Amino acid sequence: MTPSSTADAVAELRQRRRDTRRELARVRWWRRLVQARRDLAVAFLARPEITGDAGLDLSWEALAAGAPTGDELSRALWPDAAGLSVATVDDLDRLDAGLEAYETRVAATLDNVTAQMVRALADTHRMDDGEKGP
């Protein structure tokens, strides 16, 4: 391999590595969002019943003064609560499983490209040492 073709190969591998790292970050971002959405769905399905009278004694009622009510918190966290069900959690699990499999493939590709780049850089280094001579 000539020095210029090796340099071109290294440049191409660097670009592929950058692109793969960017894609891996994007997949991980989506996974975090899907997992957070799943956590919210599970929290909604497992939440305690909200009643008007929380049954707090006077000291707790004084501490809770000015705090958001359970209804306010529920509306903020689950504006589309009518659509949440166990099927929602199952759908989110399927999405996450697909993203996880894709993340695994992208991570393996990144490892492969990185190994190729290291080999190409080593080849470049050996060629540079060969040009300098003893």
User: CA-to-CA distance for 47 and 43, rounded, in angstroms?
Assistant: 6
* Angle of CA points 44, 64, 69, to nearest 5°: 35
Regarding predicted confidence, which is higher, 58 or 13? 13
Averaged pLDDT, 81-104: 95
The predicted pLDDT at position 51 comes to: 56
The predicted pLDDT at position 56 comes to: 60
Residue pair 53/87 in contact by the 8 Å Cβ criterion: no
Q: How confident is the model at residue 117 (pLDDT cuts 50, 70, 90)?
A: very high
pLDDT at 53 > cutoff 60: no
Regarding predicted confidence, which is higher, 105 or 62? 105
User: CA-to-CA distance for 117 and 121, rounded, in angstroms?
Assistant: 6
- Would you say the pTM of this structure is higher than 0.85? no
Tell me what the pLDDT averaged over the chain comes to.
87
pLDDT at 1 > cutoff 70: no
Q: How confident is the model at residue 15 (pLDDT cuts 50, 70, 90)?
A: very high
Which value, in Å, is the radius of gyration of the alpha carbons in the chain? 27
SS3 label, residue 43: helix
User: CA-to-CA distance for 51 and 104, rounded, in angstroms?
Assistant: 45
